Amino acid sequence: MNLFRNRNFNIFLAVQALSVAGDSFSTVAIPLLVLHATGSVVQMGLLTGLSGAASLVTGVFAGHLVDRVDRRRLLIGCDLARAALYAAIPLVWMAGPQIWLLYVIVPLGAALGMVFQVAYVAVVPSLVEPDQITQANGRLYAIYAVGGIGGPALVGVISQAFGPVVAIGMDAVTFVVSALGLMLIRLRPAAAAPADRGGLLEGARFLWRHPVMRSLTILLTFFIFLTAGVDDVLIYHLKHDLGQNDDAVGLVLACAAVGAIVGAPLIGRIRKAIGFGNTWVSATTLSGLAMGGVGLATGVPAVAVLMALFVLGTAVAGICSQSFRQEVTPSHLLGRVTAAFWTVHYVLGPAGAALLTLGAAEYGVATVTVVAGAGCVLVSLSGLLTPMRRPLPPS
């Protein structure tokens, strides 16, 4: 079936675009809320690190949960729970700034987001044919990026006019609409799973025994350590170093999303032409070089272009690695393998986010982005020495 005629996939595509637009509201609005209330980039980094830690802990059981329950209902439940959490922020904030509340809601939202993302990856093969997985992931990334353009631009305007707390309230509404849309889709029945009770460890075993997945997991662990705090540092650079308003922050992040729109339709052809490993290495190298230049840029247009290149690289690498994982993993293991993959490669993310923002406060954004960008390039080029270089079947 042509993807354009696949009703279930198209509904899934539409509601997730809306959900991602809403996600961008909280991604931008929460750091702005912290910065408005405290003026501290370190607190921004601590929240980002706490969010990453919550995702890491949740990954221990998320895969087992996804492989054992109805995945569509799980997605709906995660959306409704996140709607309730983020709706609480504007309600409580009416009594005045309550930073403590963010330290409760942000990690809980991240935990639910982790479960949602594992389930989302697991349901894609149940919506499309096996030879359409890379194409489907490319369209999901592209439509997500479209939502990512409108979301940051709008949240910047709303935050400037009404404050970031209003933008967070709008995020809650998008989760409700996403849940309603997910109620309309139907998944293809999965093949009967073997009787096994392994949890995260079962997924980790699969990753370790597969030479390409093992190499990719190790490299991504270090890549994410170096890039986990990039959004916080970017916002701090625009607000503190360049003296820009909230709407400029939204505009830059919207322009950055263009990178995903450009990269998503190209991934299938690029992977077929140069192979999985070369595609991943080239894309992550581009991201590292772009990140290294962000802190050196002294104008908003230059920052926007560099962030677009950064997102272009991460989008191509992300689509490539996710599609490969979905292709080589048995359906009954996909939740646990995905959770193990993300849990392992996010293990250093919280520390990376905290160190990157602390470094920005102590030594300046230019210094930490150059060091982190150079580290990303070294990590990426290391992939040329692993089994990732071997030719792989095109998707």
pLDDT for 395: 40
Helix (H) or strand (E) holding 48: helix 41-66
Q: How many CB atoms lie within 10 A of CB 316?
A: 28
**Can you give the pLDDT at residue 82?**
92
Site of tokens 């409704």: 80
Residue 159's alpha-carbon distances to 33, 43, 177, 184, 326, in angstroms, are 9, 19, 22, 33, 38
pLDDT, residue 271, reads: 83
Q: Are 335 and 120 in contact (CB under 8 A)?
A: no
Task: Give 363-366 contacts, CB < 8 A, sequence gap 24+.
Answer: 364/241, 364/295, 365/233, 365/236, 365/237, 365/241, 365/294, 365/295, 366/295, 366/296
Residues in contact with 32: Cβ distance below 8 Å, sequence separation at least 6, in sequence order: 159, 164, 235, 246, 249
pLDDT of 147 reads 67
3-state SS class at 67: coil
Tokens 């071997």 -> residue: 390
pLDDT tens digits in sequence order for the chain, 395 residues long: 677 778 888 888 888 777 776 676 777 778 778 877 777 767 777 787 788 788 878 877 888 888 888 989 999 999 999 999 999 988 888 777 778 888 898 899 989 988 998 888 888 888 888 778 888 888 887 777 776 666 666 776 777 777 777 778 888 888 898 899 999 988 876 555 555 556 678 888 898 999 999 999 999 999 999 998 888 888 888 888 888 887 788 788 778 878 877 877 778 788 888 888 999 999 999 999 999 999 888 889 999 999 999 999 998 898 888 888 888 888 888 888 888 887 787 778 778 888 888 898 889 999 999 999 999 999 999 999 999 876 444 44
Note the pLDDT of residue 391: 46
**DSSP label of 329:** S
| H/E stretch holding 181 | helix 164-182
Question: What is the C-alpha separation between 291 and 63, in angstroms, rounded?
Answer: 32
Cβ 356 vs Cβ 230: under 8 Å:
yes
pLDDT on residue 394:
41
Site of tokens 């929240």 = 47
Q: Please give the model's pTM, rounded to 2 decimal places.
A: 0.71
Nearest in space to 41 (alpha carbons), one of 224, 237, 228, 225: 237
